[in-house]
Copies of this chain bind each other. A is one copy, B any other.
Amino acid sequence: MLSITEENYLKAIFKIAERDQSPVNTNAVAASMQTTAASVTDMIKRLSEKELLDYEKYKGVLLTEKGRKLATNLIRRHRLWEVFLTEKLGFSWDEVHEIAEELEHINSDQLIDRMDTFLGYPRFDPHGDPIPDADGYWTRRPQVLLGTLLPGQLGVVTGVDDHTSAFLQYLNQLGLGLGENIEVINRVLYDNSMIIKLKDGKSIAVSDKVVQHLFVKISA
């Protein structure tokens, strides 16, 4: 049985290993957990003791298979809860993360299985992130950052690279939700912004920031 704190560390380490490289270094974990390097070293020892991490002093950590399974299971729970909150309770995608951050620690496999069934076995969460299966695996969806599209190309919004509610709310305002069809009109070289056309026919300008953080699947 893990404490909520231990679970959070494990999840953070998994995500850093995915984003950066393995082994994961102490400072990266400290930054992600908003704590000190000293605390991280402490916790790393505890998690290694429980055989969730492979740890060698000064060399960083790798997740063991046991650690990986626990971490992906947390992500599975988190994302399923996010689907529940949006699909069933009517929350908006910018409101669910914090609540799911708590709900993911509810420890019941039966609960998650039944929730998965109740939701109809969703493959992606409200932010377009994949939901791991019970073994902790998922298949990557072909998607690229909006910024890589050329004028004339068509695409569908499939995800975000920035999960802050500020960004998500801004996308709401722009009408750029998941599944939205877009067409690139042109790229403004001056500030790297873009003019895109939405399905309602309206053209909008999206800043460099948006272009760098919105995933789309190229459809033509």
Q: Which residues of A contact B (CB under 8 A)?
A: 85, 88-91, 95, 98-99, 102-103, 106-108, 110-111, 114-115, 118
Contact = CB atoms under 8 A, between A and B. Distances in A.
B90 A111 contact: no
Nearest to A113: B89
A107 B102 contact: yes
A79 B115 CA distance: 18
Contact of A89 (B91, B98, B106, B115): B115
B115 A106 contact: no
20 contacts: A85-B111, A88-B118, A89-B111, A89-B114, A89-B115, A89-B118, A90-B114, A91-B110, A91-B114, A95-B110, A98-B108, A99-B106, A99-B108, A99-B111, A102-B106, A102-B107, A102-B108, A103-B103, A103-B106, A106-B106
Contacts of A103: 103, 106
